[in-house]
Amino acid sequence: MSATRTLFHWSLQADARAIGPHLVRAGFAVFMLFSITASFVDLFGRVGPGLRFFQSITFLNVVLITVSGVSYFVSAVTEEKDSGNLALLRLAGVTPIAIILSKSTSRIISSMMLLIAQLPFTFLAITLGGITWRQIISSYLALAAWMVFVANLSLICSIRCQTAGRAATLAVTILALFFTIDPIVASGLAAIGPGWLPAWFVDSLNALVSIQHKMSVTMQLDQILRISSLNPDFASTQFFWDVGAGLTLFATSVLMFNQWSQPAESGMAEASPAVRRWTIGRCWKLPMTWKEFLFFTGGWPFWGVKLLTYGMILAAFSFVQNAADPHLGFVLHGDRAWICFLTYLLAFYAEVLLYSAGSIFTEVRQSTLSSLAMIPISTVRLLSEKLMAAILASLPVLIALCVAFWCDPQGISMRLNAPLIVTMIATVLISSHITVLLSLYTRWAALPLALLLTTPAFSCSLLLIERTLLLPGAIASTHHWHVSLFLASVINLFWVWLFVLLPIQFRIVSRWDELSQHS
């Protein structure tokens, strides 16, 4: 009986580990079918359907590689720190380069295999027209170089930080600055004007922008996939810059591994009792919320750091606006208020996905499900308290969103229509639920898989929700209800919860109980 139970437990874990690659391949197959269908919308236009199809595939690859940097590659070393195995590996005499090669390089190779597996399917774009085989090969070389850079950037964040959450936050910050440094520097220098900053500082900013242009995979893909660029070079400037930067980061990780990993075991032990009492304190009446907020999301110190960071972003926008036009003052208006609002909205979406991917999976990785099952509370309440901790940790970005909306409520309201609001809310809810569910099945691919499933759905659901809002709105207007649009939005969100979210919630609870019984 015991052997049968052990065999069932082993098979359950094997199925959970094996489902991730199959879901990734299935998701790519579905997205390719969707891209082929969408490419024929412009069949008689100026752009060939094959080029349109391949552009959508490359866009998806860029998104997945970038997201993998903050979910898959970034946990290469932090998973050993979180589980306490790094000290054992170092005690056993395992060298830093052996640890890095086994934990990080193996993930790069497996991800490269996923890119290579796409090639036979993407060559279908040649038969559709508008693209050549040289463009396809050059695009995949650019994507491979970008993967090398992102993976090694995430590796150095994983070695430098003590927890996966901090490493993911650092990687997100660096990648966000990488993609936004060009508009930030251009708009900042234009707003400040000449003569305000030293010449060497301006030259340094322009040099950073020039390096970003050379390393940008989006610019390189845009140049490769132009109709006039039918015979691009295989090895471009972006390829050498990204590979060179990746190798430099890899060498830095090997050299600094022992120094940066040293505080991983002794940092908490050296903290004074007064500091521990201030950061942890007494347990709340909701124990899972207390535990999740303090030991997963970072607690009050990280909460304050996020609030200060979002405040500095708002202050930067206000400073740029006042420097450009002193009559506007420091309260944001127009495009700057809208861009600031979108920045906070993207930060909120990123926080929701990161908390969804790691909250429950942390319990699975640390093998604490059996201990939590012994607590005399139901599974629904336990998961609800985890949700409350995530909401509490997201309050800084929610406060920042409210402040940005308060700066220019009329201008932002004009840009936000009801279908867009309902679609964004539905996308956040669906993607977060899918991320939580996939985190109970896969090891590290829950976040990329969730984005893979919800990215095509966003473009489809926007048009669907826009049409479905018309029927309840028309019915409510015939009965002289003045809240017709609000009522239509509530009805649409109710259907999303009933037919999409509720089944996922039942499956999450069921999967949690299965893992708790066999852990």
Identify whether the C-beta of residue 36 lies closer than 8 Å to the C-beta of residue 48: no
User: For 18-32, 335-349, 416-430, which range has the lowest pLDDT when averaged over its residues?
Assistant: 18-32
User: Which stretches within 267-408 are classed as H helix?
Assistant: 273-279, 287-295, 299-324, 334-365, 369-373, 379-393, 395-407
pLDDT attached to residue 11: 39
Task: Average the pLDDT over each of 117-126, 134-143, 227-236, 388-397 and give the range with the smallest value.
Answer: 227-236
- For all residues of the chain together, what is the average pLDDT? 77
pLDDT score, position 458: 62
The predicted model gives 303-331 an average pLDDT of 84
Q: What is the mean pLDDT of residues 157-182?
A: 81
372-398: average pLDDT: 90
Please choose, from the candidates 443, 496, 475, the residue with its C-alpha nearest in 3D space to the C-alpha of residue 13: 443
Residue 383 confidence (pLDDT) above 70: yes
The mean pLDDT of 123-152, rounded to a whole number, is: 87
Residues 420-450 have pLDDT tens digits of: 787 788 888 888 888 898 888 876 667 776 7
**DSSP one-letter code for 273:** H
Model confidence pLDDT, tens digit, residues 243-280: 999 999 999 988 888 887 764 444 444 444 444 455 56
Helix, strand, coil shares of the chain, percent, nearest 5, are 80, 0, 20
Residue 482 φ/ψ, nearest 5 degrees:
-80, -10
pLDDT tens digits, one per residue of 470-502:
666 666 666 665 556 677 777 778 888 888 889
pLDDT at 393: 93
Q: What does the pLDDT read at residue 272?
A: 44
Short-list 308, 306, 65, CA closest to 179: 65
